[in-house]
């Protein structure tokens, strides 16, 4: 085990090649042992591929360590058992099942933390018999996050949890993420800089499949030139509560692709 202030998750030289396409070219990433760490970058920078590589969902090389334990060669089910919860970009909710059934499928521990889930998401208790496919986008996102809280996870990875949500619902999700992060560290992949500014103390920025910046979120977003160069947006004014429009990525050249 590391010291209290050591990163919980460390990624070094992470590379991903799929079907001959070089997607990640050496990503370095430190996730803080508490609070929210944001993973930023323009569309196509490699953010989603990075979190999938951490989880073992795509073939990868390099180094991935959780609390000092090497995860690099572990398959996904063993990575999850080491204590990483995942909120996928598409939420992954089973629309034909009830809220309660969706949560039950996620149970891994002998005593799932339903009191915690219902404390953070009281609405899910009221809607436990409702079919998940009839929930709003924000409510489905709550189900997706709640599934990661049922088990004693050491880290939660949330991939664009506010994508496609109305500004009012984005605020509700932000409130929930702050409550979650007060208990479990969160790695947040997000385009909405208002949410990032509010929740994430530290961040890493990807470009073209490798890390180009790591540091304090407030310092990055306060630097107009750096924010424009690295993220394609200005930050001298507070971003709108909706998703921030990132600049379109440059077309891939040769066999290099970023996702």
Sheet holding 9-18, edge to edge: 69-70, 61-66, 9-18, 21-31, 210-216, 200-207, 36-40, 186-189, 155-159, 84-87
Q: Where among 137, 152, 167 does a domain terminate?
A: 152
Asked if 130 and 99 touch (Cβ cutoff 8 Å), the reply is yes
Question: Does residue 229 sit within a domain?
Answer: yes
pLDDT at 245: 37
100 assigned to some structural domain: yes
129 Cα distance to chain centroid? 28
How far is Cα 43 from Cα 198, in angstroms, rounded to an integer?
A: 21
User: Domain check: are 147 and 165 in the same one?
Assistant: no
Q: Which sign does the torsion angle of CA 151, 153, 157, 163 carry?
A: positive
Global pTM value: 0.86
- The string of pLDDT tens digits covering residues 64-107 is 999 999 999 999 999 999 999 999 988 889 999 999 999 999 99
Q: Which residues pair with 16 in a beta bridge?
A: 24
CATH at residue 197: 3.40.50.300
pLDDT at 91: 87
Is residue 151 within 8 Å of 108, Cβ to Cβ?
A: yes
Among 128, 152, 176, the domain boundary falls at 152
Asked if residue 245 and residue 136 are part of one domain, the reply reads: no
Residues 116 and 208 in one domain: no
Shared domain check, 78 and 165? yes
Residues of the chain with pLDDT under 70: 1-4, 233-259
Q: Are residues 132 and 26 in the same domain?
A: no
Identify whether 144 is part of a domain. yes
Per-residue pLDDT, 64: 98
- Show the domain range for 188: 8-83+154-259
């Amino acid at each position: 085990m590391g010291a209290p202030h050591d990163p919980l998750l460390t990624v070094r030289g992470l590379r991903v090649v799929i079907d001959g396409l070089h997607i990640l070219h050496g990503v370095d990433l430190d996730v803080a042992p508490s609070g929210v760490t944001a993973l930023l970058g323009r569309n196509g920078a490699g953010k989603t591929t990075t979190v999938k590589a951490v989880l073992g969902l795509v073939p990868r090389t390099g180094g991935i360590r959780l609390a000092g334990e090497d995860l690099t060669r572990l398959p996904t089910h063993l990575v999850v058992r080491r204590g990483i919860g995942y909120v996928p970009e598409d939420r992954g909710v089973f629309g034909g099942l009830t809220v309660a059934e969706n949560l039950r499928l996620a149970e891994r521990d002998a005593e799932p933390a339903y009191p915690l889930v219902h404390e953070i998401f009281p609405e899910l208790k009221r809607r436990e018999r409702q079919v998940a496919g009839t929930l709003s986008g924000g409510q489905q996102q709550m189900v997706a996050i709640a599934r990661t809280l049922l088990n004693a996870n050491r880290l939660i990875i949330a991939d664009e949890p506010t994508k496609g949500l109305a500004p009012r619902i984005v605020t509700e999700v932000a409130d929930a993420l702050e409550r979650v992060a007060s208990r479990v560290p969160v790695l947040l992949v997000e385009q909405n800089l208002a949410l990032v500014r509010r929740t994430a103390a530290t961040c890493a920025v990807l470009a073209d499949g490798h890390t180009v910046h790591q540091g304090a979120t407030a310092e990055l977003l306060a630097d107009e030139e750096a924010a424009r160069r690295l993220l394609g947006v200005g930050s001298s004014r507070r971003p709108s509560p909706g998703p921030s429009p990132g600049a379109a990525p440059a077309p891939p050249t040769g066999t290099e692709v970023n996702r």
